[in-house]
Amino acid sequence: MASVKPPTPAELTAVGKQLGMSLSDDDVKFFLETMTGSVAAYNVLESMPDYLPPVKYPRTRGYRPEGEENKYNAWYYKSEIKGASRGKLAGKKVALKDNVCLAGVPMMNGASTLEGYVPDVDATIVTRILDAGGTIAGKVHCEYFCFSGGSHTSAAGPVQNPRKPGFSAGGSSSGSAAVVAAGEVPMAIGGDYGMKPTHGLVPYTGVMPIELTLDHTGPMTATVADNALLLEVLAGPDGLDPRQMNVKVDAYTKALTGNISGMRIGVVKEGFGHPASETVVDGLVRRGAERFKELGCTVEEVSIPMHLLGPAIWTPIAVEGATWQMMNGNGYGFNWKGLYVTSLIDAHASWRARADELSETLKATILFGQYALNKYRGHYYAKCQNLARKLRAAYDEALGRYDLLVMPTLPMRATRIPEAGAPRMEIIQRAFEMLPNTAPFDVTGHPAMTLPCGLSDGLPAGLMLIGKAFDESTIYRAAHAFEQSHDWMKVTA
């Protein structure tokens, strides 16, 4: 039976009005006649099965852990899925950020409006982990549609910092950070922290999109060696992700030589002293930079004035782009070739009937995003995509003189999670205040990795290493030597 029907005259009149047309009754009758072929084509498609990658490994739906099994509120669902009998990840357990599709296991991406959705596909990175002998441990919470750098916006409640409960675990990969820091798994999939690989190095296929040009996914691990190992498994084209152009992969574990003598490192002046910066964090990162000098590197301060404009360039791309693709476009939008997860599109589309449930951070984002789209026609989004090339060139100029750049990952230590009923402005502030050094590299696509470099009041400071496009190996080489040279937890301020 045909399930796609032509519009009624009233529906077509309403569509015309939406498009700025005043359709007469004769117009409506005429255009309805033109639609017969389109409706027939849609019904041919309705009778065809979708064309999706096969799900290769058996699994169960799993369960929601409670109490001591989930004391940081990091886990959404636990479902142990065993991969191949041998491979690079044999014996390793991996937690998936809950924006990653895992067939047969519920996914909510931090959002009440998506809860109840069960994907019918595995993301490419899931298949690669399992093919390499890894075991998927389950899904971990993230922020509400990933729109927060804190750990307090998930509809399932805040994720606690294992090092200091009551404080943020970071975001949007809050659950990933918590389960790795707590030692519950050695590896997890994250986004902006851990290793943020070069844009396109790791296929985003089957991960819920935010905005095509900003989306990244990558490994979060307890050690540099595990990070390099997991990236070896994840990296490379899959033929389904248009972000993957001229991808260059490497054997990243071979970079872990321990010898970085002669490496040139530029400490980016503009990465320090932001209005939100804590003196203690800036100090610990500068001490970390000095350690590279002790390891035989040339370490110099470098000025990249345009770095300070990075967050402004990021803003229209994130705000208008996410409004257009993730929300208006039901996650996927149009005009790119690759895998569209139609079941996710259908499930996510219901947000319109429940928009009052969206997090304060997402409401603030899309209210301004829709306003800007209506008022300025996408002008600023387009301008910022042009300026992104200039920003990338500014970093590339410095990276022509240095092997790596260094700055604080975040300007501050973890902040206290807002109390229930906290002022709405505090909720927004705690979600976005930490982005000035990370957001620019989402725009430019450079690889960047965070390393803990010391503790203050029990909370780590992060040092970020930024490299040339597809030069993750140099980052790993430096990060491993840094990690092996000392116990960062004994560096205090």
pLDDT digits (tens, 9 = 90+) for 263-304: 999 999 999 999 999 999 999 999 999 999 999 999 999 999
Coil vs helix vs strand at 404: strand
Q: What is the mean pLDDT of the chain?
A: 97
Would you state the structure tokens that stand for residue 418, as one six-digit string? 């807002």
Which amino acid, one-letter code, is at 383? K
The 10s digit of each residue's pLDDT in 35-87 is: 999 999 999 999 999 999 999 999 999 999 999 999 999 999 999 999 999 99
Structure tokens at 137: 């441990």
The residue with tokens 């509809």 is 155
Residue type, 68: E
Per-residue confidence (pLDDT) for residue 21, from 0 to 100 = 97
Angle between helices 424-432 and 360-376 (to 10 degrees): 80
Beta bridge partner(s), residue 219:
189
Q: Cα angle at 103 between 100 and 109, to 5 degrees? A: 35
The answer to whether 403 and 339 are in contact (CB under 8 A) is no
The answer to whether 268 touches 446, Cβ cutoff 8 Å, is no
Q: Is 487 exposed, middle or buried (0-12, 13-18, 19+ CB in 10 A)?
A: exposed
Q: What's 323's DSSP letter?
A: I
The CA dihedral of 283, 289, 294, 300, to the nearest 10 degrees, is -120
Order the strands of the 195-196 sheet from edge to edge: 195-196, 448-456, 459-466, 404-408, 264-268, 298-302
What pLDDT, on a 0 to 100 scale, did the predictor assign at position 192? Answer: 80
The average pLDDT across 434-452 equals 98
Calculate mean pLDDT across residues 153-159.
98
Q: Is 473:448 a contact under the CB 8 Å cutoff?
A: no
Strand 459-466 to 448-456 pairing: antiparallel
Helix (H, G, I), strand (E, B) or coil at 302: strand
Does residue 139 sit in helix, strand or coil? strand
For 415, other C-beta atoms within 10 Å of its C-beta total 21
Burial group, residue 493, by CB count within 10 angstroms (0-12, 13-18, 19+): middle
State percent of the chain over pLDDT 70: 100
Q: What value does the CA radius of gyration of the chain take, rounded to a whole number of Å?
A: 23
Residue 2 has pLDDT above 70, yes or no: no
Instruction: For residue 63, give the DSSP letter.
Output: B
Q: Name the token pair of 297.
A: 């590197």
Residue type at 350? Answer: S
Distances in Å between the Cα of 95 and the Cα atoms of 33, 115, 138, 156 are 53, 19, 5, 17
Residue whose pair of structure tokens reads 């449930």 in the numeric block: 357
Q: Which residue from 456, 491, 493, 447 is spatially nearest to 291, judged by alpha carbons?
A: 491
CA pair distance 219, 205, nearest whole angstrom = 15
Partners of residue 93 on adjacent β-strands: 135
Within 10 A of 20 (CB to CB), how many other CB atoms are there?
6
Rounded CA-CA distance 405/92 in Å is 31
Residue 1 has pLDDT above 60, yes or no: no
The residue type of 290 is E
CB count in 10 Å sphere of residue 278: 18
Q: What is the DSSP code (8-state) at residue 377?
A: T
Tokens 């990276």: give the residue: 399
Q: What DSSP element (H or E) covers 379? A: helix 379-399
Continuous segment of H or E residues that includes residue 175: helix 174-181
Q: Return the structure tokens found at 35.
A: 């639609």
Residue 193's pLDDT is what? Answer: 87
Q: Which residues of 240-261 are buried (b: 16+ CB within 10 A; e: fewer)?
A: bbebbeebebbebbebbeeebe
Question: Which neighbouring-strand residues pair with 463?
Answer: 408, 451
* Cβ(409)–Cβ(437) below 8 Å: yes
